[in-house]
A and B are shown apart, each in its own frame.
Chain A
């Protein structure tokens, strides 16, 4: 099972994502922003970081990288894509996911172990969780406040497309406590928390995040 991770100029968590894929039992394939070659991967992760320095808006310039042109076309045909943090921002800028992520309500960069609940286990990235499962994975961002129009929010809630929701308290002013969403087809998932930073008890708050990576491998086997 070949899972790609894209490195943009300014990506930070690409090596962590590659490592999480390997730990889950997959073949981790580095992909580069300047090439449109997906190297026959079966799914792709857009990692966290500050691609292109977050200039203009987070993810706004990465969205036009050659690799994204390939990913957007593939995603529209059902190719599984997971965007984490900056990756989620790139997915909204790419219009693969609705809404946008803006500056945190209190203007702080927030780095903490965050409890969230898994609300959609039908995506290829979350099938290993149980519905309503409470997990703890880190958030680390300055622009993680999810915002969308009232119609978009109603559509996301009505179709069960909220994948992760902040538990206990809303850290950043995200509407409806949204921490992660999926597209109508369910193949594209964007999350602000970092599952790749919660894969081993030695270095993370839990091993809860590893299930994102084992889930995609199971989904690809089941195809």
Chain B
């Protein structure tokens, strides 16, 4: 079994009010390290066996169709033994 990780963030140029709220809450708790915070979504998709390139392409198509929208930036990561590495960086324009 492998877990395919899909991370969806707002594109950098899109205002992220939720991330801003987190960023302004941190100093109130005494944490002063954050220059900025952006918040996103993470999907963990479990598949049988090691995913093939064809399966990853299928996951990417599904992620593009359902998991993201035109203001999203989507990153598909692949996990193996807790080591994640970037597999593909998708472009989202339409």
Residues of A within 8 A of B (CB): 56-57, 60, 64, 92-93, 95, 98-100, 102-107, 145, 147-149, 173
Contacts and interface: CB of A to CB of B under 8 A. Distances in A.
- Binding site secondary structure of chain A: loop
8 contacts: A56-B66, A56-B67, A60-B66, A92-B70, A145-B15, A147-B71, A148-B70, A173-B17
B93 interface: yes
Given A60-B66, A95-B94, A147-B15, A102 B21 contact: no
A107 B69 contact: no
Given A107-B21, A149-B93, 7 more contacts: A57-B69, A93-B69, A99-B71, A103-B17, A105-B15, A147-B15, A173-B17
Interface residues of B, number: 13
Interface of B: 10, 14-15, 17-18, 21, 66-67, 69-71, 93-94
Contacts, number: 42
Contacts of B10: 102
Contacts of B94: 95, 98
B40 to A, nearest CB: 12
